Structure 1
């Protein structure tokens, strides 16, 4: 399979919530390497308040495992909330922390300046620098001089790039990579025109920190296990690479990660649906487990990348409504009952039957329980022989809400 030119292909642990365990990170490195990925970025938000005391425990083992798998381990720190840019001692302490990470085996380091106020907060900083961008440029150059390989997440990291802060930050050394998330924090699409415009503004091709399949903060009710989509097939022409931000749900994240790997390996030939089917078999296994999980997964596809939560169920409901409106209520209810029983059998197997990937199923239990409740409601509806609501609103994204398209 041909190489499409993404220099960086990987995953970033950059979500809000409980970080992955050391054992999960070790497992991830093998998972990534086996699928042609070459980068793991350690950047969990829960580590942010402790940058001054941040150690490198476990980093050496991660770095060694990464080298075996062909995966660079990038160690990040987030000093933006407490570091004083004008304080030489603070700058020195940050540089030393990064140097220790490099000595422990990190292939590079990341300076995360995201999700902080877009202004200088310390009076001495305000007296020493014209604005936040000027202070950060000085800090970035000091760190880069001590480390040699640096990735920076700027405070403004999405949009069109036409921003005074972004233009000022673009003056840093061109060898420093800059993270970018696209038009939005969670971008539904990343197209070539936007990527080209951002490349011109940043004076370098961006390294996309892609916020999928992450489901933190307001997205916590969503289970992001659908395929990677909406990225231009020629994005590699204006991107250093892509690192996909995972969910706190480590095992579930692997499904999306496998599709990301397929895209990064061959973006021009990538087919989201084909990749997704392979990913499900790859992560879930085969046999009854796979058959049941596929039915479940098709009902929780909604995300910033996918507006429809349950395409197959929506089709069944549409056909059910049509048959009832045409006067064949028996056929309509038989169709709905048959599909409901199929869904119930899948839920029963995953929730109570023997499964090989028990950690994967355990993570999804809240969604599986909702899936089962929805299937029971469908079966009850099929037995009631009632007419659907005459006005049918647009499909909903949440599985349970799909049932509200009809009145019974």
Structure 2
């Protein structure tokens, strides 16, 4: 055989073998799962789920869990789903075994795949591998909550239509994970709350606290009964939360008017809680925040508790909390749960108030907002100091991304959830994020806070931020990129003061600073390249709103973000005109002045856009990449000489 023919034959044979190997063993990549599991590893090539699946469940799994599993399989291309109580002797296609660690089929399937059963509350194991006739997948929960969270992970694993051969051992780092609707301003609608509870479930959060400051029946009229129509609406939310393994916690704020030593007021509080107990609520919350605690609301308290002051207030609140918790425990046993937020809810400075409040029953959760109302960061050292100050691990009330204070006026707060130190799970009982008046945009930050509370040591703020964008974009790449552009211009996160704890538009600022530097110090070629980058950036800003409107299916996100998207489009066009003006100036063209005038007019239009009336406290003009984009547009005409000819 001539050598050239031999070589060609060898190459063709090798290519065929490689192609055959690729077909038999498709490349498998480690999937992205959020929250990040505690332990996840690939154990083989990707599995074909096929069109026929048998779900094996020896126990009665709850409907929401079963619906999640069926939905994930159907979305992955399965069209026939059968059920069985035990592992079939000769399975056809994929077998999915679900249940808790007590289930015999679950224990057998976990053993067959070489895994271990979960042993922590809300924990789960998810394992998958090939069999002679298809694939075996097992979802093992330590309890019903753990099984539900395993189903949420399965939903993510099957998004690409296949199933990785994988072993996942997972459990939450913190017992309480979720949000507290605790802001001032217009409360969320019932529809918003329903959407939010579904979102919380999808990110393995387990708590929603109903505590809108502007609900009159929870604060100013706390002694009065809710209208029956409102109770009926709330019952729908309570039922939904229970189905999706989210604890609905009812909060009341009696502090502005309560008479602690009046039995009638104590009875009124019990009566209010009893109405929610009748709806199935077992978790309650008493808010003592944002009240005057150096005076009494009634003379009866002076007679019973002495002169008003910090220590007297702490004792009064501790006694009331203990009375209510004892009553709840007598009613509901191990299911009873009580949380409080103290009047001194931030810092860890020792005080007569905190010393008195330490008399609260150790089983009652006490909230703390960090080293300030809106802290720039939270360290494990801070949390350890809080543990000492309050006499227990605190439950973090994280005032991010809430935007109901002056410094946040006109802003959506959409920077990543960051500057919370890994290891906080050792010192906190959980994290409840206080969201914005805008429910759907709040999910960007809450996605991160839930992921951190689940696995603080495995948390990556930037990856979680991008994953939140993919979630909103339904994994569409162009929409995800547009959302990241939007998130960047709404990146500034303020505190109570002039200095933000997260800066304004860091990605855009780096680009604009680079353009300014190139124009100042670069060669002619470098200036042209910089202006090309500027045009591309401006085009991205101008087109992002339309891409988001077309690609984000969540109508609430589009509606609640509307004025910010409108402003972004105008600012993008202003930057396009600025880029054209700089290019014209670079070429010595007198047209530059007209472009700069157009940019100024568009910027003025953008700055005139206001927040949606009656939805935000405080109201005001929309702020977007302020101090970055507005400054560049206004200073651009001075970066190059503009011809007057």
Q: Provide the TM-score with structure 2 as the length reference.
A: 0.59
Deviates more, 1:242-251 or 1:355-364: 355-364
2:233 to 58, 66, 73: 58
- Show structure 1 runs of 5+ residues with no match: 388-396
- Residues 1:159 and 1:240: Cα distance change in structure 2 (over 3 Å): same
Cα deviation for residue 109 of structure 1 reads 0.5
Distance 1:49 1:383 in 2: 56
2:541 to 314, 320, 343: 343
2:359 to 133, 152, 171: 171
- Residues 1:101 and 1:358: Cα distance change in structure 2 (over 3 Å): closer
Distance 2:456 2:548 in 1: 33
2:507 to 312, 329, 332: 312
8 Å contact 1:371–1:400 — kept in the other structure? no
Distance 1:163 1:4 in 2: 33
Aligned to 1:24: 192
* CA offset digits 1:278-305 (Å, max 9, x no partner): 1111123243433322222221111148
Greater C-alpha radius of gyration: 2
Cα deviation for residue 354 of structure 1 reads 7.0
Distance 2:225 2:208 in 1: 18
Distance 2:342 2:551 in 1: 47
Aligned to 1:8: 176
Aligned to 1:326: 521
Distance 2:442 2:319 in 1: 37
Answering whether residue 272 of structure 2 is matched by residue 97 of structure 1, we say yes
1:367 to 541, 558, 564: 564
- Show structure 2 runs of 5+ residues with no match: 1-36, 39-170, 307-311, 330-336, 495-499, 587-622, 638-645
1:201-216 → structure 2 map (5 Å cutoff): 201-216=389-404
Aligned to 2:251: 76
8 Å contact 2:473–2:551 — kept in the other structure? no
Distance 2:532 2:202 in 1: 45
Answering whether residue 321 of structure 2 is matched by residue 140 of structure 1, we say yes
1:81-160 → structure 2 map (5 Å cutoff): 81-122=256-297, 123-130=299-306, 131-148=312-329, 149-160=337-348
2:445 to 233, 256, 272: 256
* CA offset digits 1:218-266 (Å, max 9, x no partner): 1232211222111111001111111111111111112222122211121
Cα deviation for residue 306 of structure 1 reads 4.9
- Residues 1:164 and 1:355: Cα distance change in structure 2 (over 3 Å): same
8 Å contact 1:254–1:283 — kept in the other structure? no
Distance 1:354 1:68 in 2: 29
**Partner SS, residue 209 of structure 1:** strand
Deviates more, 1:325-334 or 1:47-56: 325-334
**Partner SS, residue 347 of structure 2:** coil
Cα deviation for residue 63 of structure 1 reads 2.5
Distance 1:100 1:207 in 2: 26
1:227 to 408, 416, 426: 416
Deviates more, 1:118-127 or 1:140-149: 118-127
* CA offset digits 1:284-332 (Å, max 9, x no partner): 3243433322222221111148522212211111111111112534443
Deviates more, 1:212-221 or 1:238-247: 212-221
Aligned to 1:34: 202
The structure whose RCO (Cα within 8 Å, separation 6+) is larger is 1
**Partner SS, residue 298 of structure 1:** helix
- Residues 1:34 and 1:333: Cα distance change in structure 2 (over 3 Å): closer
8 Å contact 1:4–1:267 — kept in the other structure? no
Answering whether residue 569 of structure 2 is matched by residue 383 of structure 1, we say no
Aligned to 2:120: none
Deviates more, 1:265-274 or 1:254-263: 254-263
- Residues 1:355 and 1:191: Cα distance change in structure 2 (over 3 Å): closer
Distance 2:178 2:273 in 1: 21
8 Å contact 1:295–1:346 — kept in the other structure? yes
8 Å contact 2:474–2:552 — kept in the other structure? no
